[in-house]
Structure 1
Amino acid sequence: MRVLEVSNLFPPDVLGGYEILAQDLVTSLRARGHEVEVLTTGDGSEQAGVTRTLQLSRAFGEKARSDRVRHLVAAAHNRRAMLRYFAEHGHPEVALVMSLRRLGVAPLRVLQELDIPFVVTVNDDWPVAYARPRSKGRLAPLRDVLDRRLLAFQSWNGIRTQHVIYLSGAVQEHIQSRGVPFPPGIVQSQGVDLKIFSPRRFRIIPHRPTLLFVGRLHPSKAPDVAIHALASLRQKGLDARLVIVGAADDASYAALLRTNAATLGVSEHVEWVGMIERTRLPDLYRSCDVALFTSRLEHEGQGLTWLEAMACGVQVVAFPSGGAKEFLDRHPVALRVDACTGDAFASAILDLLTRPDDQKVMVEAALDVVRQHGELEQYVSIVQGQLEEAIRASHRAREERGHVSRPPEPAIGRGVG
């Protein structure tokens, strides 16, 4: 297949798991012999099959707003960028659409106009941004007129989305409950590349444990809870330390976290690693004793760090929500806490320290679950199948319209980059 992946961000521009998955899909589909290129936002460059000519309505790190005028400008820019890309590169057989948060739906409208079939991945609530709920306040009538008429292009109005892959049932339910006109689609958990994230030999948690938090430093990810858990453990006599991996979009929030650590008296026991190359993560996981999965997101798509930790043979203590809760309800292989608080995490860790046999059982069970239900190639196979089905469905529709008389010859895939 000749595939174009469209995404609001693409590494090295990374907010979290969505962008990592975007890159993983490109790498894996290319390894399977498909020709895959990427169209995303950035500096206008084109390198190794990645073209960065799309434009966000507002940069990540800035507070989200309704941004009607910004969306208008971005939509016009992105329409031109899409058409220019196709004029220069030709049409793909199918497009794989990742997150369009702050990018807008103009790329989908262009794909539809050019009769290019597409598959949409939904890993969080980004489609809700274009569902256009009724406005509130004194200017609500004017805003609603703008949304229904002048800015209807910036909603799902008129877009026919037939092939959707949801990261979890929780995401699927949330999207459909918010008025997004998507079909039920397919639900498939994201996976971990087990060639990269491989397990260490089992070891019990020592009485001087190293805790690990990996993720974006944002209130929704609750890194402050990891710091409070460390403080609580130390107050109870456990000589623990904490490694924090990740960066903050908001410098003031990063400073607040450091202030919290100082106020709690644990600054010298916290190592701030910052953003690191993903290739360094497996060794970092394996060097730590307990991975903390903290989250305040009501609709967590799934999360990835806890799966990576499990794949590396590390004990996970979690307060999951959304897709992560759904996965761990089916496969109870993490130690769950009943509140996203430092004290709750600390109590769970102290309890786990007294049960070394249970530690081994849980780690080994987690490894089995990751191999059976959390492996990246399973997700890639689902995506590949949906891309192929989108091509077939598009061909059937053209036949019905009388545009083609026989199936096209299958494309011979070749790697790019």
Structure 2
Amino acid sequence: MHILVLSNLYPPDVLGGYELLARDVTQVLMHRGHTVEVLTTGLPSGQSSVTRTLRLARPFGRPAGRDRLRHVWAGLLNARATRAYLRTHAKPQVALVMSLRRLGLAPLRVLRQAGIPFVLTVNDDWPVAYSTGPSPRGRARLGQWLDEVLVPARTWKGLPTEHVLYLSEAVRRAVREAGAPLASGDVQSQGVDLSLFTPRAFRPMRPELRLLCVGRLHPSKAPEVALETLAVLRQRAVPATLTFVGEADAPSFQMALQQRARALGVEPLVTWAGKRPREQLPALYHEADVLLFLSRLEHEGQGLTYLEAMACGLPVVASPSGGAREFLERHDAARLVPVCSGEAFADELSALHGDPAAQEALAKRALDVVRAHARLDDYVRCLEGQLRHAVRRSSQR
């Protein structure tokens, strides 16, 4: 197939897992023999198959806004850029639509006019940004009417949405209950590249625990609870250190975390490693004793870092939400804390720290779960089936 990947961001422009997944999927589809090109935003990056002529209505890193003028302008520019792309490139058979948050839906309208079917991937609540809810009233209803008339880039009206792949039941339920007019579609867990994230030989946790947190430093990820966990362990005379791999969108938030570490008396025990290339993550997982996975994001699609850790044989202690909780509870592949607090995490870590047999059983169970339910190849195979189905349906019309 000739596939166009449409995304608001694409590496090296990365906020989190969605953009990395877009690149992973693109590479695997190419490896399977498909012709894959990408249409996205950003500065030229020297990638011959990636065209960066789209514009965000509002850059990430700034507070989200619903000002119509920005969306009108972005919609006009993105419609023009998409038409220009189709004029200068071979027409794709189908489009794979990743997140369009802050980009708008204008490119989808151009694809529809050109007769190009598309498949939507929904890994978080991004479709809700273009919906006012199931039963808008008052100002919301007026705003919906204005959007439908003046700002089609901000509304699903008239767009087909029958080909949808959700990352979890939790995100499907959240998006549809919020009023986004998407079909029920299918659900497929996001996958880990098992050729990169390989398991280490089992070893018990060290006497001095090496705790690891991987991911964006953001209030929804509760990094302050990891600091509190370290402080509680110290109070209980359990030696431990903590490494954060990731960075904050706002420098002020990271400064606040560092101040919190000082206030708790654990600053010398914390390493701020910053954002690391994915290729460096397996070594970090192999070196640690346990991954702390924390989330307060109820529309968390599924999460990825705990799956990477599990694939590397690293035990996971988690306070998950959304799709992550759904996955971990279903497969019993991590130790879950009852509440997201330093005391609760310290309780679980203390119990696990003194039980090497439980550590080994947990690591083995987690690896089996990843191999059975969270392989990147399985995710791409499911997407490939959706894309073929969309092409067939389009040719029958």
Give the TM-score category using the shorter length. over 0.9
Alignment of 1:63-212 (within 5 A): 63-133=63-133, 143-212=143-212
Q: Specify whether residues 387 and 145 from structure 1 end up closer, same or farther in structure 2 by C-alpha distance, changes over 3 A only.
A: closer
Deviation digits for residues 159-180 of structure 1, max 9, x if unmatched?
1112100000011111111111
User: In structure 2, what is the equivalent of residue 332 of structure 1?
Assistant: 332
**Structure 1 counterpart of 2:376, one-letter code:** L
Cα contact 1:45–1:51 (8 A) shared by 2:
no
Q: Tell me what 2:256 maps to.
A: 256
Q: Could you say what the CA RMSD is over the residues aligned between the two structures, in angstroms?
A: 1.5
Taking the aligned partners of 1:67 and 1:314, their CA distance within structure 2 comes to: 45
Match of 1:219 in 2: 219
**Does the residue aligned with 1:90 lie in a helix, a strand or coil?**
coil
Q: Distance in 2 between matches of 1:155 and 1:203?
A: 53
- In structure 2, the partner of 1:12 is 12
CA drift of 1:141 comes to 7.3
1:88 deviates by: 0.9
Q: How does 1:246-325 map to 2 (within 5 A)?
A: 246-325=246-325
Unaligned runs of 5+ in 2: none
* Structure 1 equivalent of residue 235 of structure 2: 235
Q: CA deviation at 1:46?
A: 5.5
Question: What amino acid maps onto 1:324 in structure 2?
Answer: A
Paired residues of 1:135 and 1:143 also in contact (CA < 8 A) = no
Check the 8 A contact 1:243/1:271 in 2, yes or no. yes
One-letter amino acid of the structure 2 residue matched with residue 258 of structure 1: Q
- Work out the CA distance in 2 between the residues paired with 1:162 and 1:37: 23
| Pairwise CA distance, 1:45 | 5.5
Which residue of structure 2 aligns with residue 369 of structure 1?
A: 369
The match for 1:411 is none
Shift of 1:142: 5.7
% identity of equivalent residues: 54
Amino acid of the structure 2 residue aligned with 1:348: E
In the TM superposition, residue 143 of structure 1 has moved relative to its aligned partner by: 3.5
- Cα distance in 1, alignment partners of residues 49 and 141 from structure 2: 45
Distance 1:346 1:288 in 2: 16
- Residue identity matched to 1:126: W
Aligned letter for 2:53? T
| Alpha carbons of structure 1 residues 142 and 178: separation in structure 2 relative to 1, 3 Å | closer
- Measured against aligned partners, the alpha-carbon deviations of 1:273-332 in whole angstroms (never above 9, x if no partner) come to 101111000001111000000001012100000000000000000011111111112100
Per-residue CA deviation, residues 40-83 of structure 1 (Å, 9 max, x unaligned), is 11025562311111111111111111122111111111101101
CA distance in 2, matches of 1:303, 1:125: 13
Checking the alignment, whether the CA contact within 8 Å between 1:132 and 1:147 is kept in structure 2 is no
Alpha-carbon offset, residue 104 of structure 1: 0.5
Amino acid of the structure 1 residue aligned with 2:166: Y
The aligned amino acid for 1:131 is: S
Deviates more, 1:185-194 or 1:229-238: 229-238
The equivalent residue for 1:48 is: 48
Question: Which residue matches 2:348?
Answer: 348
CA, structure 1 residues 143+385, in 2 after alignment: closer, same or farther (shift >3 Å)?
closer
Q: How many residues align?
A: 396
Matched-pair contact (CA < 8 Å) for 1:46–1:52: no
Corresponding residue SS for 2:104? coil
The C-alpha deviation readout for 1:250-285, integer Å capped at 9, x for no partner, is 111011011111111111111111011110000011
Question: TM-score w.r.t. structure 1 length?
Answer: 0.92
Q: CA deviation at 1:144?
A: 4.7
Counterpart CA distance in 2 for 1:49 and 1:148 is: 33
CA distance in 2, matches of 1:274, 1:327: 28
Offset of 1:354 from its aligned partner?
2.0
Query: Aligned with 1:165: secondary structure?
Result: strand
Q: SS of the residue aligned with 1:274?
A: coil
Structure-1 separation of matches of 2:295 and 2:87: 44
What is the identity, as a one-letter code, of the residue corresponding to 2:270? V
Q: Cα gap change, 1:28/1:93 in structure 2, threshold over 3 Å: closer, same or farther?
A: same
Q: State the Cα distance separating 1:336 from its structure 2 match.
A: 0.3
**Structure 2 CA distance for aligned equivalents of residues 18 and 67 of structure 1:** 25
The answer to whether the 8 A contact 2:132-2:140 is kept is no
Corresponding position of 2:27: 27
Find runs of 4+ consecutive structure 1 residues off by over 6 angstroms.
Answer: 134-137
Give the gaps of 5 or more residues in structure 1: 398-417
Q: Could you tell me how far apart the structure 1 residues matched to 2:54 and 2:5 are?
A: 12
Cα-to-partner distance string for 1:216-261 (whole Å, 9 max, x where unaligned): 1110111111111111111111110001000111111011011111
Amino acid aligned to 1:318? A
Q: Distance in 1 between matches of 2:63 and 2:238?
A: 39
- Please give the alpha-carbon distance, in whole angstroms, between the structure 2 residues aligned to 1:191 and 1:184: 21
TM-score for both structures, normalised by structure 2: 0.97
Amino acid at match of 1:302: Q
Deviation at 1:151, TM superposition (A): 2.4
**In 2, Cα distance between equivalents of 1:357 and 1:175:** 41
SS in 1 for 2:21: helix
* Counterpart Cα distance in 2 of 1:80 and 1:304: 35
In 2: Cα distance, 1:183 partner to 1:232 partner: 46
